[in-house]
Structure 1
Amino acid sequence: MGVTLEVRNGKNAKANAADLEGGGGKQTHRTSNLETATHLFKGSVGAGLFAMGDAFKNGGLVGATVLLPILAVICVHCERLLIAGSIMVVEKTPGVDFFDYPDTVEKVFEYGPPPVRKLSKLMRTIVETFLCVTQFGFCSIYFVFITENLHQVLHQNGIEISQTTTMALTLLPAMLPSLLTNLKYISPVSMLANLSLLFGLLATLVIALQGPMPAISERHYITNGTQMALFFGTALFAFEGIALILPLRNKMRNPENFTSTFGVLNVTVGMITLLFIFTGFIGYMRWGEDVDGSITLNLNAEEVMSQVVKIVAAMGVFFGYPIQFFILIKIIWKPMKESCGVAQSYPITVQVVLRFIMVMCTFGVAVIVPKLGLFISLIGALCSTSLALLIPVIIDFVLRAGVPKALTTWVYLKNMAIVLIALLGIATGTYQSIVEIIQEFYD
């Protein structure tokens, strides 16, 4: 990009990575490259990883293997555009050393050409809405993931209850930690969640690799446009972690190492992409068209080891729910507190009530849309694509509009190609996901 400015030192922070933990203030700990890579990896690997088998079913062995790295490169490029935009507006704003995603979008439009300045508040609202919907979707998907795995185990052990009842049993355990308003009481479960997910994935892959694989000729190499639309949504859901990029970079001891050629961003996303490809390839090769929205659901529930894997993986997602929910509330709470007098007078009470209502809402959506793979594809196509691809390119266009000769022919064609990919993915992925979800109600 034409503007590659670096953040100046010595300024007071208006908002920094500590906001991820619910408050501002000065940063007391700067992370190393390895710590930042670990945080980025943990923030990008979750339910989407277990859905890679379904992604390969929709994309085909060759199609998904080729397209996943291409999507990864596009996502990283757009994350770099966001970082460059944030650095530029930080430089133009006295007394500030960090802006998060919504702040960056708002300031880019404020400092942009006169015709777009009046859109700054609207664009911020759009970004916050998409972030909120994406996070809400994560939480609802977590309910579905936990329920589907737990229901199989209960059914195998002679406990005959409906899937909705099984989901209801998970409501209270998910509700209690989600009512806590301080992240320091929630964060200890994060490591347990990561260890559980890692064990669940490794054990699932070990089980999947046992015995001879079906012939590769029995699997689709390339699929049709309808299935590709679903693949696109699932892949973007899995890759979408753009809201983490700015806080993680800002918290580093050496922020320039985040976007260097062999820096944190490139290396970590490269590793994640390889993990996605390996998991998806093995999952689809083993189970073919029967692969589920989570490959753990394909494990033989009659085997004790498989039951353990399902329970541990469900626990990993369950322990991650309060963290994801905390981020959702953080997005909602700030504008609500600023605009609601009752929230200012009774902040704790109002926030607890808000948390209760939002947990029930995520639970309700999970009950209504119980098909995990389609749910993931819908959220990925609609919101993740907008956040990861479309809005960063819009930021780049606005920034370059104020710099003479910055919008070269190459940059224009490259950005327009990304916009077309994003719009096509949003339109086809969202439409096809909704069609498939509606069909599930009639089957």
Structure 2
Amino acid sequence: MPEAFKLSGMINGIISTFLIGALCTYCLHVLVKAQYVMCKKLRVALLTYPDSMKIACDIGPTCLRGFAPYAPALTNFFLIFYQMGICCVYVVFVGQNLKYVFDEYTSTKYSLIVYMLIVFVPFVLIICIKNLKLLAPFSILANVITLITFGVVCYYIFQNLEDFSDRPAVGSLSDYPLYFGTTLFSLQAVGVVIALENNMATPKSFRQPMGVLNIGMILVTVIYVGMGMMGYWQYGDGIKSSITMNFPIAEILAQVIILSYSLAIYISYGLQGYVPVQIMWTNYIAKHLEDANAKKKSFYEYLLRIVCVIVTFVLAMTVPLLGLFISLVGSFCLSALGIAFPAIIEMCANWPEKSHPKTLLFWKDILLIGIGVIGLSAGSYSAIYAIAGKLASGDY
């Protein structure tokens, strides 16, 4: 988030992050409520996101009904792209931070790709853990490390602050789409929210004014605003894509925290990689292996997992630009999954009783769809353009 504030400017970043946080929270409410409406109509306990899109198109305006058979595939595409994008970000993060630490101790400065190749096998091993219960203890460890890292980050960013007025209040308009994508990536958690709501004992309490969703999103938004503001205030235009790379590398504390947090991100890779593997295996691959024996099925599942790791590493090595990759994933995937799709589902779920061209609900959803489309288009274009420029100039 500090790099996002560099793009937006200090005051603009504070205001815009709160507004985007409110938008994300509202769209999550829209999605969860619309799914509840459809579950009630169909008399089913719960719906997955892809199924929600399909059913919404089936029962919505006539112009969308022909799209219904393709809606699950499109939704899965964005979900897979999003999760694989997160995995790519994690690979770049770990590689960059390892290089940052070990460059302090080696006379030969190895390239980032070398450090990525060093960690390739460990990443393969963790994604090959099929049972989430085996990953759970490691996930707890990763959360503890993240909490400790947060404390150390606060220790560094509150030291010897410069004059607040030295930081520009508003950034360049051309950089705002990149800021938007980065902020969406940080704040939007549509997959986690759906899974959490579906597994709660009392799902209705999830959407209450003082429910889990509102409190959780308020806390997350406040934390990211605080980290973004203080990080940019401390380091200014010298802020890196990962704030850990602004730590004084000569200090042992900084080195320990950087390596520990890299371990936490490595562990999280196994959890994030689980999602695209499950989507691809369950929906598109397993049905072609119904007649195969268990050994053959297991072989192909492991092969899929390894291929996913290879794809994320190839992308990470090709585009080792952490900040821009985050912005691209946020703009392209979350503008759709977190803003436009929930509005489409709500419009269709309430069609035609409460949602039609003469209702405020209809035009509100049209506005949200417009915001999603503009965010996706402008953010993706800006990120791809910036990535191409960096790669062409060798500035990475």
**Which category of TM-score, normalised to the shorter sequence, fits these structures?**
over 0.9
Q: Confirm or deny: 8 A CA contact 1:233 1:378 kept in the other structure.
A: yes
Partner of 2:192: 244
Amino acid aligned to 2:111? S
The alpha carbon displacement at 1:336 in A equals 2.2
Q: Confirm or deny: 8 A CA contact 1:232 1:429 kept in the other structure.
A: yes
Q: Which moved more, 1:420-429 or 1:66-75?
A: 420-429
**TM score, norm. by length of structure 2:** 0.94
Q: Confirm or deny: 8 A CA contact 1:151 1:163 kept in the other structure.
A: yes
Distance 2:19 2:173 in 1: 17
Amino acid aligned to 1:428? A
Correspondence 1:410 to 2:337: no
Partner of 2:380: 430
Q: Confirm or deny: 8 A CA contact 1:343 1:350 kept in the other structure.
A: no
The alpha carbon displacement at 1:392 in A equals 0.7
Amino acid aligned to 2:204? E
Partner of 2:217: 269
Correspondence 1:358 to 2:304: no
The alpha carbon displacement at 1:191 in A equals 0.7
Partner of 2:86: 138
The alpha carbon displacement at 1:159 in A equals 5.7
Distance 1:328 1:266 in 2: 27
Correspondence 1:108 to 2:56: yes
Of all paired residues, the percent bearing the same amino acid is: 26
Distance 1:405 1:169 in 2: 55
Q: Confirm or deny: 8 A CA contact 1:62 1:222 kept in the other structure.
A: yes
Distance 2:241 2:354 in 1: 48
Partner of 2:125: 176
Distance 2:64 2:101 in 1: 55
The alpha carbon displacement at 1:343 in A equals 8.3
Q: Confirm or deny: 8 A CA contact 2:357 2:363 kept in the other structure.
A: no
Partner of 1:317: 265
Correspondence 1:257 to 2:205: yes
Q: Confirm or deny: 8 A CA contact 2:347 2:355 kept in the other structure.
A: no
Equivalent residues in 2 for 1:47-196, closer than 5 Å: 52-94=1-43, 96-158=44-106, 160=108, 161-196=110-145
1:158-209 Cα offsets, whole Å, 9 max, x none, are: 2632211011111111111211222222222111111112222220221121
Distance 2:179 2:354 in 1: 39
The alpha carbon displacement at 1:284 in A equals 0.3
Equivalent residues in 2 for 1:289-304, closer than 5 Å: 289-304=237-252
SS at match of 1:261: coil
Distance 2:29 2:100 in 1: 42
Partner of 1:23: none
Partner of 2:147: 198
Counterpart of 1:419 (choices 348, 353, 369) is: 369
Distance 2:51 2:381 in 1: 31
**TM score, norm. by length of structure 1:** 0.84
Partner of 2:299: 349
Cα distance change on mapping 1:347 and 1:74 into 2, 3 Å: same
Q: Confirm or deny: 8 A CA contact 2:97 2:262 kept in the other structure.
A: yes
Tell me how many residue pairs correspond in the alignment: 390
Equivalent residues in 2 for 1:322-337, closer than 5 Å: 322-337=270-285
1:312-349 Cα offsets, whole Å, 9 max, x none, are: 11111011111111112111111223542378542211
Distance 1:408 1:290 in 2: 51
The alpha carbon displacement at 1:142 in A equals 0.3
**Structure 1: runs of 5 or more not aligned:** 1-51
The alpha carbon displacement at 1:133 in A equals 0.1
Correspondence 1:381 to 2:313: no
Amino acid aligned to 1:293? S
Distance 1:343 1:265 in 2: 43
Cα distance change on mapping 1:396 and 1:145 into 2, 3 Å: same
Q: Which moved more, 1:145-154 or 1:114-123?
A: 114-123
Counterpart of 1:207 (choices 148, 156, 167) is: 156
Q: Confirm or deny: 8 A CA contact 2:8 2:175 kept in the other structure.
A: yes
Q: Which moved more, 1:342-351 or 1:389-398?
A: 342-351
Cα distance change on mapping 1:139 and 1:182 into 2, 3 Å: same
Counterpart of 1:368 (choices 302, 309, 318) is: 318
Cα distance change on mapping 1:187 and 1:121 into 2, 3 Å: farther
Q: Confirm or deny: 8 A CA contact 1:232 1:381 kept in the other structure.
A: yes
Distance 2:62 2:325 in 1: 40
The alpha carbon displacement at 1:246 in A equals 2.2
Over the aligned positions, Cα root-mean-square deviation in angstroms equals: 1.7
Q: Confirm or deny: 8 A CA contact 1:204 1:309 kept in the other structure.
A: no
Correspondence 1:233 to 2:156: no
Distance 1:377 1:59 in 2: 13
Q: Confirm or deny: 8 A CA contact 2:355 2:361 kept in the other structure.
A: no
Q: Confirm or deny: 8 A CA contact 2:127 2:305 kept in the other structure.
A: yes
The alpha carbon displacement at 1:113 in A equals 4.0
Partner of 1:28: none
